[in-house]
């Protein structure tokens, strides 16, 4: 049953990611992958928050593994970093560096906020 919940959650997360990507691409006309950056940072924050709240295994499966797993995207992040690097090396380094540093901070903030509850 867990695999069904994870798959259902992943479908929902992927649909949300698609919508956010479409909106981000419409709002920000830039080579910098703003939508993917936003998705991965908010996903890191939400996963940290969820983790700190220590939900039941079933809730974590649908929300963490499922929805947030489908929402965030490591493969797109890596692909966009390589594409930026083909054009300008500095942009690639900035994108990867900011994504990792801000992602870690967002996750830590989520964990901290969850522990305050």
10 C-beta neighbours (distance < 10 Å), count: 18
Cα–Cα distance, 96 to 38 (Å, whole number): 13
The range of the structural domain enclosing residue 13 comes to: 1-27+34-115
73 among annotated binding-site residues: no
pTM summary value: 0.87
Ligand-binding site membership of 9 (annotated): no
pLDDT in tens, 33-91: 899 999 999 999 999 999 999 888 889 899 999 999 999 988 888 888 888 777 777 87
The 3-state DSSP class for residue 55 equals coil
Q: How many domains does the chain have?
A: 1
């Amino acid at each position: 049953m867990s695999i069904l919940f994870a798959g259902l959650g992943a479908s929902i997360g992927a649909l949300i990611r698609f919508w956010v990507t479409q909106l981000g691409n419409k709002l920000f006309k830039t080579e910098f992958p703003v939508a993917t950056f936003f998705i991965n940072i908010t996903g890191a924050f939400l996963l940290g928050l969820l983790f700190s709240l220590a939900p039941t295994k079933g809730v974590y499966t649908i929300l963490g593994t499922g929805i947030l797993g489908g929402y965030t995207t490591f493969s797109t992040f890596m692909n966009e970093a390589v594409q930026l690097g083909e054009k300008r090396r500095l942009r690639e380094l900035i994108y990867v560096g900011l994504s990792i540093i801000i992602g870690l901070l967002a996750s830590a903030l989520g964990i901290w906020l969850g522990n305050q509850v």
